[in-house]
Amino acid sequence: MIMKGQSMKIVVLIKQVPDTAEERTLVPATGWLDRDAADNVVDEINERALEVALRVKDADKSTEVVVLAMGPDEATKAIRKALSMGADSGIHVLDGGLAGSDAARTAAVLAAALRGTSADVILAGNESTDGRGGVVPAMIAEHLGLPLVGGLNAVELVGAAGSGKVSGERSGDSGSLQVTAALPAVVTVTERTAEARFPNFKGILTAKRKPVATLTLADLDVAVTVAHAVVVSHSERPAREAGRKIEDDGTAGTQLASYLFENRLV
């Protein structure tokens, strides 16, 4: 991740999600995520995307790293966390009219917010740990007319606007691909990229002095459209049944094999 020339501007998309270490639930009436049921944290995959950006900044201090989040008031906490890790500034898209947005609307709003940033790279996780749609970055790329370099396990960002490029490795079904695109581009990373750093105390204390711009729908000039994807119904995951135990009386191997065959698991 070595860069030369003009400094690069990277915008990292971050999303606040319920901690995966805790029990996550839906609100029965709406089918939306119950954000009060578990601690809300920066999605781990976004932290890894941020780590990619921060490593570029480690190598070239002139790199500008901006984090962009759309979400309720609480999302400021996620933005602060990103700033404490080393991002330079934040953009918070906050509007009551955005509650319950589907992927298409989220992407339209984020794309509108990104238009003003003149970013060389828009970095995101390949999918969030809550919704797991994995389509928002692609939709954003479409809105902005930028290439999508998605699902990278390792990322290299070289050069700056005009001459820069992104390259990296993506795992496919039958092998790994080396992909490259000219900047600007939308880049998404998988959880195989480097683990995110911890913020240090100094970072935590300076985070509150870093600028965070709050944007509403009116500021962005995007129409308040209804969500096209709505939750029709949902049900709780059935309780797990106890598995079958096979005692090894010498035929365990055969029993296991026939179980797999019978259930069409091989």
Partner 1 sequence: MNEQTAEQLAMVEMVRDFAATAMAPHTAAWDEEKHFPVDVLAQAGSLGMGGIYVGEEYGGSGLSRVDALLIFEELAAVDPTIAAYISIHNMVAWMIDAFGNQEQRAAWLPGITAMTELSSYCLSEPGVGSDAAAITTRAVRDGDHYVINGTKQFISGAGSSAWYLVMVRTADKGARGITAVVVPAEAQGLSFGANEKKMGWRAQPTRQVVFQDVRIPVGNRLGEEGDGFGIAMKGLNGGRVNIGACSLGGGRAALEKSIAYLKERQAFGGPLIEKQHLLFEIAQMATDLELSRTMLIRAAQALDSGAPDTVKLCAMAKLVATDAGFQVANQALQLHGGYGYLSEYGLEKLVRDLRVHQILEGSNEIMRLIIGRLAVER
Quick one: which of 205, 224, 257, 260 contacts partner 1 (CB under 8 A)?
Answer: 205
Q: Is 23 in the site for partner 1 (CB under 8 A)?
A: no
CB atoms within 10 A of CB 233: 5
Count, residues near partner 1 per rule CB under 8 A: 12
Phi, psi of 231 (to 5 degrees): -80, 115
Q: Examine residue 198 and tell whether it contacts partner 1 (CB under 8 A).
A: yes
Min separation Cβ 199 and partner 1, Å: 6
Site string for partner 1, 220-249 (x = CB under 8 A): ------------------------------
Least distance between partner 1 and beta carbon 201 (Å): 3
Nearer to partner 1 by Cβ, of 90 and 164: the residue is 90
Stretch 42-81 residues interacting with partner 1 (CB under 8 A): 80-81
Closest Cα partner for 158 from 8, 29, 258, 36? 8
Three-state secondary structure call for residue 190: coil
The DSSP code for 196 is P
Q: Which is nearer to partner 1, 50 or 114 (CB)?
A: 50
4 counts as binding partner 1 under rule CB under 8 A? no
Question: Between residues 71 and 199, which has the closer beta carbon with respect to partner 1?
Answer: 199
Q: Which of 75, 199, 215, 222 binds partner 1 (CB under 8 A)?
A: 199
Letters for 172-191 (x = contact with partner 1 by CB under 8 A, - = none) are --------------------
CB atoms within 10 A of CB 238: 6
Q: Does 168 bind partner 1 (CB under 8 A)?
A: no
Using CB under 8 A as the binding rule, whether residue 207 contacts partner 1 is answered as: yes
CB of 208 to partner 1, least distance (A): 7
- For residues 81 to 110, the per-residue mask of contacts with partner 1, x marking binding by CB under 8 A and - elsewhere, is x--x--------------------------
DSSP labels, the chain: ----SS--EEEEE--EEE-TTS---B-TTT--B-TTSS-EEE-HHHHHHHHHHHHHHHH-TT-EEEEEEES-TTHHHHHHHHHHHT-SEEEEE--GGGTT--HHHHHHHHHHHHHTT--SEEEEESS-SSS----HHHHHHHHHT--EEEEEEEEEEES-TTT-EEEEEEE-SSSEEEEEEESSEEEEE-TTSPPPPPPPHHHHHHHTTS-EEEE-HHHHT---PPPSS------PPPPPPPPPP---SS-HHHHHHHHHHHTT--
Nearer to partner 1, 61 or 202 (CB): 202
Least distance to partner 1 from the beta carbon of 106, Å?
27
**Least distance between partner 1 and beta carbon 48 (Å):** 14
Binding site residues, partner 1, CB under 8 A? 80-81, 84, 198-202, 204-205, 207-208
